[in-house]
Amino acid sequence: MQYYIQSSWINSDSPKGDFRKNLLSWFDQQQRDLPWRKNPSLYKTVVSEFMLQQTRVSTVLPYFANWLHLFPDFHALASASEKSVLKAWEGLGYYTRARNLHKLAQVAENWKEPPACIEEWKKLPGVGPYISAAVTSISLNQPNAVCDGNVVRVLSRLFSVSEVFRDGATAQKKILPVAQKLLCKDRPGDFNQAMMELGATVCHRRSPHCTLCPVISLCKSGSQGDFSQYPKIQRKEKKKRQIKRYWVEQDDSILLHVSDAGRMRGIYELPSSLPDWPNQHSSKPELMINKKRTIGNVDYLENIYLIRTKISTSQSLTVGYEWVKWSDLNNFTISGPHRKWIREIRELAFPQIREDQRNKRQE
């Protein structure tokens, strides 16, 4: 990375000073009114940074408010059950984040003082280079630069970085030294937030508002008008996967499955296989609807099949399966897409399913 750092103004005090001054002045005037910036605390910063991983600010806002209501501090979160933590996280996805945040709170319970060293933060559950730098700079005023996707985009354009990065993680790792050189050590937390704010609100991926950029006079790609070329990151080919799901509704309940291991532990979904029950008591699967969702780099097509069964809800089921009453549905932690699909299917198909069941009973 030194090849373009040395050839740029990044090693000159005057341009660096102008960059920091312009950026921070803009941030002081234009920063978004976000709840974790009001009466800031270490706890608020940690929670917000965990939630904001791979998630938009607009999505996080209601979750953050509810989370602070349920778990106002590290002690309240550490004392909560994993079930209640996952329920509060429902819909945000990537549930490992919630489990790690829960574990971190249990570690924080024993702190006399929070660690200021970035390397100590990296040892904590779910904390990597980005979160450790964000937390220590924003809440502990430590001179550690952050480098997320927004920062990569800003700095790649600022210096017209020609390197083609293998993936986003590689880009962040290689651009980080540049961010560290630019960092304002007097206001590291504000500077980091300003860099991310610039990427999120001005230096957009496709249509940046260059005329509104506070550092446009120093931006190489902005002055050349070739910003769309940066950053240069190889696109990963999307993987595709199909999954069968089953809609089994009986009386006042629906059949759901919950995993006891892996990243979806404790999260209920429509089952991808059926319990061990006599085949003659169930109809052949009838395709109801196809649904799509993306997790990471995988596009899933989930085909949902209707199963009509005479199995009683009082009959014992294979471990992991559970009849959930409609009236109790909100008390269970269900993956966001599946809760949405269940609601949609119930509104569209539920009356017809009910009618079919009544007719079968009359026969």
Hey, what amino acid is at 26? W
Q: Residue 245 — φ and ψ, nearest 5°?
A: -125, 155
Average pLDDT over residues 80-94: 94
In the chain, pLDDT over 70 holds for what percent of residues?
93
Q: Which residues, 6+ apart, have CB-to-CB distance to 299 below 8 Å?
A: 238, 239, 240, 241, 292, 293
Average pLDDT over residues 273-283: 74
In the chain, CATH 1.10.340.30 covers: 2-233
Reply yes or no on whether 322 is catalytic. Answer: no
In the chain, pLDDT over 90 holds for what percent of residues?
72
pLDDT digits (tens, 9 = 90+) for 37-59: 999 999 999 999 999 998 999 99
Length of the chain: 363
Contact 336, 91 (CB under 8 A): yes
User: For 69, what's the count of Cα atoms within 13 Å in the CB-facing half-sphere?
Assistant: 8
Domain 239-362 has CATH 3.40.190.10: no
Contact 267, 335 (CB under 8 A): yes
Set 49, 197, 269, 302: catalytic member: 49
Q: Across all residues in the chain, what is the average pLDDT?
A: 90
CA distance 183 to 179: 6
In the chain, CATH 3.90.79.10 covers: 239-362
Tell the residue number behind the tokens 């003659």, with chain if given.
Answer: 280
Higher pLDDT, 1 or 143: 143
Q: What pLDDT does residue 204 have? A: 93
Instruction: Name the pLDDT band for 3 (thresholds 50, 70, 90).
Output: very low
340 pLDDT more than 50: yes
Strands 321-325 and 253-258: antiparallel
Instruction: Name the pLDDT band for 311 (thresholds 50, 70, 90).
Output: confident
pLDDT digits (tens, 9 = 90+) for 24-41: 999 999 999 999 999 999
Q: Which residues, 6+ apart, have CB-to-CB distance to 190 below 8 Å?
A: 24, 27, 28, 184
Running DSSP on this structure, what letter comes out for residue 279? G
Q: What pLDDT does residue 4 have? A: 55
Q: What Rg value do the Cα atoms of the chain yield, rounded?
A: 25
pLDDT digits (tens, 9 = 90+) for 76-85: 999 999 999 9
Token pair belonging to 114: 């929070």
pLDDT digits (tens, 9 = 90+) for 260-269: 877 888 899 9
Strands 239-250 and 298-307: parallel
Q: Residue 109 — φ and ψ, nearest 5°?
A: -55, -30
Rounded to two decimals, the pTM is 0.86
Q: Which residues pair with 258 in a beta bridge?
A: 268
23 pLDDT more than 90: yes
pLDDT digits (tens, 9 = 90+) for 166-199: 999 999 999 999 999 999 999 999 999 999 999 9
- Distance between the two ends of the chain, CA-based, in angstroms? 76
CA distance 102 to 79: 9
Q: What pLDDT does residue 358 have? A: 54
Which sign, positive or negative, has the C-alpha torsion 53, 55, 58, 60?
Answer: negative
pLDDT digits (tens, 9 = 90+) for 317-330: 888 999 999 999 99
160 pLDDT more than 70: yes
Domain 2-233 has CATH 1.10.340.30: yes
